Amino acid sequence: METLRFQVVGEAFKKKPLEVKAPSERPYEYFGRKVFNREKMYKYLPKDVYEQMVDVIDNGARLDRHVADHVAAGMMQWAKEQGATHYTHWFQPLTEGTAEKHDSFIEHDGKGGMIEEFSGKLLVQQEPDASSFPSGGIRSTFEARGYSAWDPTSPVFIIDDTLCIPTVFISYSGEALDYKAPLLRALKAVNVAATEVCHYFDPAVKKVTSNLGWEQEYFLVDEGLYAARPDLLLTGRTLMGHDSAKNQQMDDHYFGSIPERVAAFMRDMEIQALELGIPCKTRHNEVAPNQFEVAPIFEDTNLAVDHNMLLMSIMKRVARKHGFRVLLHEKPFAGINGSGKHNNWSLSTDTGVLLHAPGKTPEQNLRFATFIVETLMGVYRHNGLLKASIMSATNAHRLGANEAPPAIISSFLGKQLTELLDHIEKADKDNIFTMDGKQGMKMDIPEIPELLIDNTDRNRTSPFAFTGNRFEFRAVGSEANCASAMIALNSAVAEALFSFKKRVDELIPEYAKKYEGTGHSGVFHAIIDVLREDIKTCKPIRFDGNGYSDEWVEEAERRGLDVEKSCPVIFERYLDPESIQMFESLGVMTKKELEARNEVKWETYTKKIQIEARVLGDLSMNHIIPVATRYQSQLLTNVGNMSLVFDIDTAHKLSTRNKKIIEEIAERISTIEQMVEELVAARREANKIVDEHQKAIAYHDNVEPKLDDIRYQIDKLELIVDDSLWPLPKYRELLFIR
């Protein structure tokens, strides 16, 4: 009889690409069609209201309530023309996802009928139930009130029939219960700090913006195969499954031809994303089979975070339409590459990119070096915190495996930038900048033009690599909210810049007198001396070698870098005195908010491992062992029948192999049963612990390791049990889209 596995595998292989009707216009013509952007604001708002909104968005001016009423009226007019009937405050709670409650525009007209209405009050503020979202104890179950408040710097958009309004989410007592509120505070801090430092070089600079370009990696699997794998369905990853004979070892999937069904999905996804103002730029096959990537053009960090959260939602919806499921888990399959979300981060002003080099003048080069070094200072001082910002139960499987960076934060700069910093540290102040730009490389092939080579190479093992005009924070996980990493990074850089300016300002009066009449600027010398001090201080974070080597772990520990690998312990870095001091001094988060967030992190970690343990126990006892026992019974019958047909010696020879398999199955079944009992016992002991921190540590130390032990036994059974009996789709079936 044909098993469910063979039915779903057969259906998966028969599926054809879904035809996608592309808009008749070019992409730039429908880009932002479903977004209330500046073009729409100019059309639907009174001129003075439009100008006030621009001032709010560009300069952080305060938004008056009467202005909100005009904006709401213009928004509703536009939304109705687009077919919208509802609106929602769209926010990002501490669940790693987004949340929304839809309300219709209709209200009583006082005459027994209905009218459509949308006021500034409804636009600016709503009251979702704060006790039903993770709060780390800030909100008790009986304390339900919380507020969502409009973020005018991120434009509203329409999904289906609903006007979506990006908002922050705070408690009744004012604490942030989301990612957006502290992110906006961190971006404000780095703007103020960086602008003040920029004024040493260019007093005309008005604003510094943090920019982000994320690279979203993901897996696709056929929906039928996904549904036949309870572990994928409930945990996002395969808790068992032996390697496919062929996976990524041939390197033939990376940048290869995109399968037709996947290409159709990508086209559909990109059309919807572009209509929502998400500037999708790149798509390609990734290294592992069934793994792909989408990446946009750089944007303001706040908007980029919103767009990434929105795109992940779009991906899931569109994938189901095409008969796929998107896997955003960082390590859905063992033995092949996991998925990251590389965060390309930079700073720019209204006059240019701060991390772009070389400049045309010594002042521009000094500014470049200053922002490079102070970024490294922030990363060095808070390398443990930055690791905590990207750590999770799911990302822990990926870090250090295959192409993922190790769980030690270091920064790769490349030969030329390293030489530049070494030169600044040691050279004469009057001859300090020697960095070249892109160099030509001739390939001695007449048909190929000269290539421009970047002044830095790339190092895939570096978690925080400089890649030309930006740093690439490679350690961020694929299903994470980018805001977590961006809050920590921008805060760390802001603190470093404030410290830099304070120390330079303290030296300027002394140096102005010292160099008076010499033609040398006291400011220039003060900057150089502080810069030299910081170059020496942050040198331990600079590493251009192989981050995967055992020697690097030992070396990193000698340098004083955080080498901890336990996820629950790494979260403790949020509560280090220096972390609390930084966040509070910048106004990003209070100690109470940090403690609450850590409670959420520890509880989330525990629940994820708890779910995995329960699923694996169920699959072991109710799927794998019964199938293995059935096959064992078939072999026993075969051995018995041998003795009826052949003489004793011949029967013994013919059944020897089967007897060995029967014995191996018996041993592995017995081992699995014992291990599952131990797993359940370990869970029960951990569940008795009241403190969330200690419970998470118990789950990490005593429960999680048992999952791999059980998996090993099951994967060995998969190799010997009759293929026609095995109940779950195998890796060779999951990993190759036809």
Contact 288, 331 (CB under 8 A): no
Query: What residue spans of 244-333 are helical by DSSP H?
Result: 260-275, 301-321
What does the pLDDT look like over 179-219, one tens digit per residue?
999 999 999 999 999 999 999 999 999 999 999 999 999 99
Residue with tokens 């030169």: 423
- Amino acid 442: pLDDT: 42
pLDDT digits (tens, 9 = 90+) for 123-163: 999 888 777 888 888 766 556 678 999 999 999 999 999 99
pLDDT at 400: 72
The pLDDT, as a whole number, for residue 403 is 60
Distance CA 377, CA 520 (A): 27
Q: How far apart are CA 87 and CA 627, in angstroms?
A: 51
HEC profile of 468-510: CCCEEECCCECCCCHHHHHHHHHHHHHHHHHHHHHHHHHHHHH
Under 8 Å CB-to-CB from 684, ≥6 apart: which residues?
none
Q: How many CA atoms lie within 13 A of 658 on its CB side?
A: 18
> Could you count the other beta carbons within 10 Å of the beta carbon of residue 65?
9
* Residue length of the chain: 738
Predicted pLDDT at 312: 98
Task: Say what the pLDDT of residue 447 is.
Answer: 38
Half-sphere exposure in the Cβ direction for 615 (13 Å, CA): 20
Cα 139 from chain centroid (whole Å): 27
Would you say 104 and 493 are in contact if contact means Cβ atoms under 8 Å apart?
Answer: no
Q: What is the pLDDT of residue 456?
A: 53
Task: Categorise residue 658: left if φ over 0, alpha if ψ from -120 to 50, beta otherwise.
Answer: alpha
185 CB-near residues (< 8 Å, 6+ apart):
586, 587, 588, 589
The pLDDT value recorded for residue 705 is 97
3-state SS, one letter per residue, for 214-254: EEEEEEEEEHHHHHCCHHHHHHCCCCCCCCCCCCCCCCCCC
Q: What is the pLDDT of residue 1?
A: 45
Judged on CB neighbours under 10 Å (0-12, 13-18, 19+), 505 is middle
Q: Which stretches in the chain have pLDDT values below 70?
A: 1-2, 139-144, 357-359, 401-404, 428-460, 517-520, 654, 738
Please give the Cα distance from 487 to 389 (Å, whole number). 8
Q: What angle do CA 598, 604, 607 make, to 5 degrees?
A: 145
Model pLDDT, residue 445: 35
The CB density around residue 709, as the number of other CB atoms within 10 Å, is 13
